[in-house]
Amino acid sequence: MNITEEIQKRRTFAIISHPDAGKTTLTEKLLLYGGAVQLAGSVTARKNQRATTSDWMELEKKRGISISSTVLQFDYNGYRLNLLDTPGHKDFSEDTYRVLTAVDSVVMVIDSAKGIEPQTRKLFEVCRQRGVPIFTFMNKCDRPMKDPLALLDELEHVLGIGAFPVNWPIGNGFEFQGVYDRQTKLMHLFERTTGGQFRAPVQVGGLDDPAVRGRLDDETFRRTVEELEMLEHAGHDWDDAAVLAEKTTPVFFGSASNNFGVQLLLDGFLKHAPGPKGRNNGRFGIPPSGGSANGKHANPPEGGTPNFITPEHPAFTGFIFKIQANMDPKHRDRIAFVRVCSGKFERDMTVHHSRSAKKVRLSSSHKLFGNERETVDEAWPGDVIGLVGHDSFGIGDTLTTDPGITYKEIPRFTPEAFSYLHNPNTAKFKQFRQGLEQLMQEGVIQALYLRHSSVKTPLLAAVGPLQFEVVQFRLENEYGAVSRLESAPWTVVRWLPVDMKEDDLDALSLPTGSRVAYDVGKNAVVLFPNEWSADYFTKTNERVPLSALPVQTARE
């Protein structure tokens, strides 16, 4: 196969939503229907039951929530899928947002009883900004759900996106029996299986097929027919271009835990989802891909390397969007997750590493399936691969055979939670330090160092407090280091200008309770107890502009 055929085969997508809508359950069922697992696991697995493939972390199983995104690569129906399950909780949204830089489309899961929840709305906005097409799965139709027409209305009015129902629920709650496929005009009526471990038996037939019709009571049938007629008159038409331009979202109804509508989602999604797309070359200060910037800089500024890198571009390029250590207790190593953007990846190839500006040989490359891995010899645009054994790799780094290409895709977040982390057991100092450093490299948390302080206790900064719990759990579980949290009195951090000298820092007029500190890149920050005091600082130090994120400099 040539590069174009390889690219056309790939579908790289994330499952996103507010917590608990059923992303991990749906992911597991896509694996079941995609033939990647024979028996579906459950997020609520008890002893002797199989857990889901994507919630493989100890803490995820314990809590029944997703904490870290997971990559699952598998083949189905002539496609190579790179599926990424993401955590919904806002404290982990940094991880989820990074994943959104690595995918070409998303499946947005909605709990049909709840409609559009706040975190879904935020993630939707990010997809919009990045130009990522959105497919919608209305989940949990087996529970008393909102009126399906009202759900479509919410998509249009709350999110401002046109909704095209690809299929339609038949019955609701306990009476939910299946879906009507508006493309083929066929009803798919399912049977529930215990625990939803296996594919649900399905009976398929037209509205006038007596065998299928006979399974529905008159009221459900009448209502379904009436709603379908309304859709025909009022709804949008299917329009691939509108989906790709994020003007319309195709909507599928179903129940992930019961396996209703999963096959139709998988097949419908694959038929219409876009393949790998190109990315802006950030080397010349061009903003990240997506939105209006996407593809607008197609001409090389000074000959040679173009500003927009298409997947067919001959040079191999990719960027690291995630790092995770200790995925496999047998190996105890760290994996850098790379999204291949252009060209062909070959194991043992030598590439340019943007951060160190050095040449590195990529000899340990893997395809990933949850916490399982397998050596991979080649990969193509759209693929996510795991690279092992490069301590110098960091999130956001570009790997390329053409040093003229650098991607700047990874968003940064301003921490809002601060806490000291004590090591009560001095004998475990080494493990504590080593574990903390690793977790910082993964981007789970950041460390700050107070200016003029003799205290050696690390001050941690995170987007949300659940990240501290993850740090504590993983330090103990993976490094054998017990730790103790102590809350710190700040809630706001702002970066100072990069050119500030020590004398300038001394001259600052700091509001009560504020402190100057440094981030790992030695950039100076101010910690404030609240927004009010940050505003006060701005008024009293007019010549010192603050920034919510570090300004990228050579010091980083």
Ligand X SMILES: Nc1nc2c(ncn2[C@@H]2O[C@H](COP(=O)(O)OP(=O)(O)OP(=O)(O)O)[C@@H](O)[C@H]2O)c(=O)[nH]1
CB-wise, 66 or 441, nearer to ligand X?
Answer: 66
CB of 24 to Mg ion, least distance (A): 3
23 binds Mg ion (CB under 5 A): yes
19 binds, among ligand X, Mg ion, none (CB under 5 to 8 A by kind): ligand X
Binding-site partner at residue 474 among ligand X, Mg ion, none, CB < 5 to 8 Å by type: none
Largest CA distance in the chain: 86
Structural tokens at position 19: 């917590």
Lookup: tokens for 96? 């989820």
Q: Which positions from 246 to 285 touch ligand X by CB under 6 A, shown as an x/- string? A: ---------xxxx---------------------------
As measured in angstroms, the least distance from the Cβ of 323 to Mg ion is 20
Helix, strand, coil percentages (3-state) for the chain, rounded to 5, are 30, 25, 45
Does residue 52 touch Mg ion according to CB under 5 A?
A: no
Residue whose structure tokens are 């700091």: 510
Among residues 53, 66, 305, 441, which is the contact residue for Mg ion, using CB under 5 A? 66
Q: Which residues pair with 279 in a beta bridge?
A: 309
Question: Could you say which of Mg ion, ligand X, none residue 366 binds, taking C-beta under 5 to 8 angstroms by partner kind?
Answer: none
Q: Restricting to residues 327-386, name those near Mg ion by CB under 5 A.
A: none
- The yes or no reply on residue 68 touching Mg ion (CB under 5 A) is no
Q: How far is the C-alpha of 335 from the C-alpha of 142, rounded, in Å? A: 39
Q: How many CB atoms lie within 10 A of CB 324?
A: 24
CB of 88 to Mg ion, least distance (A): 6
Q: Please provide residue 3's backbone torsions phi and psi, each rounded to the nearest 5 degrees.
A: -60, -40
Nearest approach in angstroms of CB 38 to ligand X is: 19
Beta strand pairing call for 308-309 and 279-280: antiparallel
Specify the residue, 92 or 369, whose C-beta has the smaller distance to ligand X: 92
Contact status: 146 vs ligand X (CB under 6 A): no
Please tell me what DSSP assigns to residue 156: I
Do the beta carbons of residue 548 and residue 494 sit within 8 Å? Answer: yes
Q: Is 389 in the site for ligand X (CB under 6 A)?
A: no
Report in angstroms how near the CB of residue 47 gets to ligand X at its nearest.
17
Stretch binding ligand X (CB under 6 A), from 3-11, 13-21, 151-159, 453-461: 13-21
Residue 199 and residue 190 in contact, taking contact as beta carbons nearer than 8 Å:
no
Q: Count residues binding Mg ion (CB under 5 A).
A: 3
- Scanning 61-69, 169-177, 337-345, 496-504 for contacts with Mg ion by CB under 5 A, the matching segment is 61-69
CA separation for the pair 388, 367 (Å, rounded): 11
Q: Which is nearer to ligand X, 143 or 247 (CB)?
A: 143
Between 22 and 458, CB nearer to ligand X: 22
C-alpha to C-alpha distance for 102 and 267, rounded to whole angstroms = 22
Which has the closest alpha carbon to 253: 308, 320, 182, 196? 182
The residue type found at 373 is R
Any contact of residue 140 with ligand X (CB under 6 A)? Answer: yes
- Taking the least distance from each CB to Mg ion, the nearer of 20 and 181 is 20
Closest approach of Cβ 112 to ligand X, in Å? 9
The neighbour count for residue 499, using CB atoms within 10 Å, is 8
- 247 binding partner (options ligand X, Mg ion, none; Cβ < 5 to 8 Å by kind): none
Taken as a whole, the chain contains a residue count of 556
The CB-of-270 to ligand X minimum distance in angstroms stands at 21
Q: Give the chain's end-to-end CA distance (angstroms, integer).
A: 41
Complex with ligand X: residue 242 or 327, whichever CB lies closer: 327
Q: Which residue is nearest to ligand X (CB)?
A: 88
Cβ–Cβ < 8 Å for 19, 89: yes
Which residue's CB is nearer to ligand X, number 23 or number 390? Answer: 23
**255, interface contact from ligand X, Mg ion, none, CB < 5-8 Å by kind:** ligand X
- What is the distance between the alpha carbons of residues 38 and 28, in angstroms, rounded to a whole number? 10
Instruction: Single out the residue of 30, 31, 105 nearest to residue 382, CA to CA.
Output: 105
Q: Say whether residue 88 binds ligand X (CB under 6 A).
A: yes
Task: Please name the residues in contact with 183: beta carbons below 8 A apart, sequence gap of 6 or more.
Answer: 166, 238, 268
Residue in 12, 17, 24, 401 binding Mg ion, rule: CB under 5 A: 24
Distance CA 346, CA 377 (A): 6
From 21-29, 235-243, 303-311, 524-532, give the range in contact with ligand X by CB under 6 A.
Answer: 21-29
55/409 with CB nearer Mg ion = 55
Contacts of 546 (CB under 8 A, 6+ apart): 494, 495, 496, 526, 534, 537, 538
The token pair at 224 is 């379904």
Q: Point out which span in 12-20, 285-293, 341-349, 375-383 binds ligand X (CB under 6 A).
A: 12-20
86 makes contact with Mg ion (CB under 5 A): no
By CB under 6 A, residue 139 contacts ligand X: yes
Among residues 65, 242, 265, 445, the one that binds ligand X under rule CB under 6 A: 65
Asked if 41 touches ligand X (CB under 6 A), the answer is no
19 binds ligand X (CB under 6 A): yes
Q: What is the spatial distance between Cα 388 and Cα 325, in angstroms, rounded to a whole number? A: 10
Region from 15-23, 200-208, 270-278, 282-290 binding Mg ion, contact rule CB under 5 A: 15-23
Q: Does 115 bind ligand X (CB under 6 A)?
A: no
CA distance 181 to 340: 35
| Residues 385 and 316 sit within 8 Å (Cβ to Cβ) | no
- Restricted to residues 341-380, the positions that interact with ligand X (CB under 6 A) are none
Helices and strands per DSSP (H, E), number in the chain: 14, 30
Residue 191 is which amino acid? E
Residues at the interface with Mg ion (CB under 5 A): 23-24, 66
Residues at the interface with ligand X (CB under 6 A): 17, 19-25, 43-44, 65-66, 87-89, 139-140, 142-143, 255-258
